[in-house]
Structure 1
């Protein structure tokens, strides 16, 4: 059973704070099962953007898994905002968490999925 979205987001924000990064909820979605997108603003006009990995991956039924939504090396913040706006128009239950960290730390290391297309 997967942890409620609200609890996961609160824990993630606390993790960011412990590491010295500022994190805020920019968009509050469904408390139980809303999708989460995480924008890492590097405070230089670029950011990283992570969203839910595709359904059906091993372990995804109990653990949240993440993948880059745009260029994994970084993207323009305006491109990320446009992407998130389109997603919000499609899914009214989604959450957006924005983290400000000049080093681009995302704190999702063990949950990142690579090589999925």
Structure 2
């Protein structure tokens, strides 16, 4: 069974704050099963956008347990990220947007294509 979205977002934010970084929920979506988009904000003003990974990235039977993200935009202008989120919002009004101000997401979330570290977490 997959973890409720509101609990996942709450845990993500706690992990961000425990690292000394900052996070905020920009848009709150469906509490039980909303899609989560992560907006990474860098110190230089650039942003990256992470979206839920397509089912093709999951192993059989794994899609109900894990939340896997794909890099949708990487180190682009903030307006490009805002436009991408607006397009997604037209299709899914129940999505969540979490903004994280950190230069490195480290082990905060699993990203498709990222190399797993020895401890099993994914690193970017």
What range is the shorter-chain TM-score in?
Answer: 0.7 to 0.9
Following superposition, the deviation at residue 88 of structure 1 comes to: 1.0
- Say which SS state the counterpart of residue 43 (structure 1) adopts: coil
CA-to-aligned-CA distance 1:53-88 (integer Å, 9 cap, x gap): 0025112221100110113xx111110111011111
Q: Which residue of 2 aligns with 1:70?
A: 73
Unaligned runs of 5+ in 1: none
After TM superposition, the score normalised by the length of structure 1 is: 0.87
- Say which SS state the counterpart of residue 69 (structure 1) adopts: strand
After TM superposition, the score normalised by the length of structure 2 is: 0.82
Please identify which structure carries the higher strand content: 2
- In the TM superposition, 1:13-52 aligns within 5 A as 13-52=13-52
CA-to-aligned-CA distance 1:2-28 (integer Å, 9 cap, x gap): 100000000000000000111010000
Q: Which residue of 2 aligns with 1:112?
A: 111
Larger RCO (CA within 8 A; separation ≥ 6):
1
**Cα distance change of structure 1 residues 87 and 22 upon mapping to structure 2, 3 Å threshold:** same
Following superposition, the deviation at residue 110 of structure 1 comes to: 6.1
